[in-house]
Chain A
Amino acid sequence: AQKVTQAQTEISVVEKEDVTLDCVYETRDTTYYLFWYKQPPSGELVFLIRRNSFDEQNEISGRYSWNFQKSTSSFNFTITASQVVDSAVYFCALSEGSGSGTYKYIFGTGTRLKVLA
């Protein structure tokens, strides 16, 4: 069965601190996709990144970076020099090809990040 674990329920940091959000997943498939979404207080889901299971290269986008390690089934997200606008709930999600090929997402429980000024 698929599973996504975000063990950190809530994290508070002071502005300009770096913060890492953890995501651990379980899947039996060899082909799967991992995602991070941001949910600001307004409620929409904002796509941040997609990573497929064959690409373990880490990625950096501005202040955001992602570390994908298949050996530990982890896909962690780091925000460097956090800002108040980063305050949101962050969800990690897994998509694998089930027999029906629906590619549905399995979401983690989310991590609420509070960045204090």
Chain B
Amino acid sequence: EPEVTQTPSHQVTQMGQEVILRCVPISNHLYFYWYRQILGQKVEFLVSFYNNEISEKSEIFDDQFSVERPDGSNFTLKIRSTKLEDSAMYFCAGIRDRVQEQFFGPGTRLTVL
């Protein structure tokens, strides 16, 4: 059964550094998402991506964040200058159409020191 993969599983970085979180969605999916979960809290929507552009972003998704689907398979989330409060689990997800449930990756735990 196809699955969403995310790398790395855990990333530790220093405050102010740039990080890129990578996701490989299921190949026939059309809509892609990033969500964030701060430890012990709920899962929050960051951004959605469709047809090679951002379709919606939340207030969390400020200028420090960007997303790309550079080669039609990978889907990346970049944080330009990490802050302590960016420490969280980041989940990638995708769907082909809205009648499906979103297929989530296993997550990347980002720790900013």
Q: Which residues of A come within 8 Å of B, CB atoms? A: 33, 35, 37, 43-45, 47, 50, 52, 91, 93, 95, 97-98, 100-110
Contact = CB atoms under 8 A, between A and B. Distances in A.
**Closest A-B pairs by Cβ, 5 of them:** A102-B48, A102-B56, A45-B104, A107-B43, A103-B98
Interface of B: 31, 33, 35, 41-45, 48, 50, 55-56, 89, 91, 93, 95, 98-104, 106-107, 109
A37 B98 CA distance: 17
Contact of B106 (A43, A106, A110): A43
Contacts of A102: 31, 33, 48, 50, 55-56
Contact of A95 (B89, B98, B103): B98
A7 to B, nearest CB: 13
A47 B102 CA distance: 8
7 contacts: A52-B99, A98-B56, A102-B55, A102-B56, A105-B33, A105-B43, A105-B93
Nearest to B43: A107
A82 to B, nearest CB: 22
A91 B42 contact: yes
A47 B48 contact: no
Given A102-B55, A103-B95, A35 B42 contact: no
B40 to A, nearest CB: 9
Given A44-B106, A98-B56, A107 B101 contact: no
A106 B45 contact: yes
Residue of A44, A45, A101, A108 most packed against chain B (CB within 10 A)? A45
Given A44-B106, A102-B56, A109 B101 contact: no
A35 B101 contact: yes
A108 B42 contact: yes
A66 B54 CA distance: 34
Contacts of A108: 42
